[in-house]
Structure 1
């Protein structure tokens, strides 16, 4: 199975975008966690978008990394949107404690 590619960028409006492509396994979870922490602790973005529209399967550690990143963002008053996860990933994110308002399913 192909691993995921995690990229970060800052949009023109200052939003930090963490984009994930492919299947998120244990190795990709490390990249994802680093990208989220970088966005929240180093860049200090005012808004964070976790773009999962091109992500396939996300393992439980990856789901936990996204939820933990969203909790850190909330603690720092950063708005977070998890953009277009698959239906299965969205269900696992919600089951792990991600607020439904953070999910953008379109």
Structure 2
């Protein structure tokens, strides 16, 4: 992704974990969408965890992509979770339509 680096790993429980770092801007939108669609439709892990712990900001397009990934996961029988977001980002995700049970381990000491 243009202004963001992303690490992808498989955890011991078989979850695919995507770790973006930095700011998710409009320049990253196509790559983020491609990564998430590939993970859900091709890799098909039991769980896809998007670890937002190192995300310093997110634009509306990428926010919508994360919401869409949750719905795509439902369609493809892949549980999608958004972990370690700041309180502010968790609020944005919730307002955009992400179910609260998908937003886990919210960091209350950090703002986006």
Q: Do they superpose with TM above 0.5? A: yes
What are the equivalent positions in structure 2 for 1:94-105 lying under 5 Å apart? Answer: 94-104=94-104, 105=106
* SS at 1:101 equivalent: helix
TM-score (norm 1): 0.90
Aligned residue-pair number: 105
Q: Match for residue 18 of structure 1?
A: 18
Give yes or no for contact 1:6–1:31 (8 Å, CA) kept in 2: no
Shift of 1:13: 2.1
Is 1:70 aligned to 2:70, yes or no? yes
Q: Distance in 2 between matches of 1:54 and 1:16?
A: 17
Aligned 1:45-64 pairs, distance under 5 A:
45-64=45-64
Instruction: Note if contact 2:69-2:80 (Cα within 8 Å) is conserved in structure 1.
Output: no
Tell me the distance in 2 between the aligned counterparts of 1:32 and 1:94: 19
Task: State whether residues 46 and 78 of structure 1, in contact with CA within 8 Å, keep that contact through their aligned partners in structure 2.
Answer: yes
Question: TM-score of the superposition, structure 2-length normalised?
Answer: 0.86
> What SS does structure 1 have at the residue aligned with 2:53?
strand
Structure 1 gap segments, 5+ residues each: none
Tell me the alpha carbon deviations over residues 42-62 of structure 1, each in whole angstroms, 9 at most, x when there is no partner.
Answer: 101111100000001100001
Give the distance between the partners of 2:38 and 2:17, measured in 1 at CA.
11
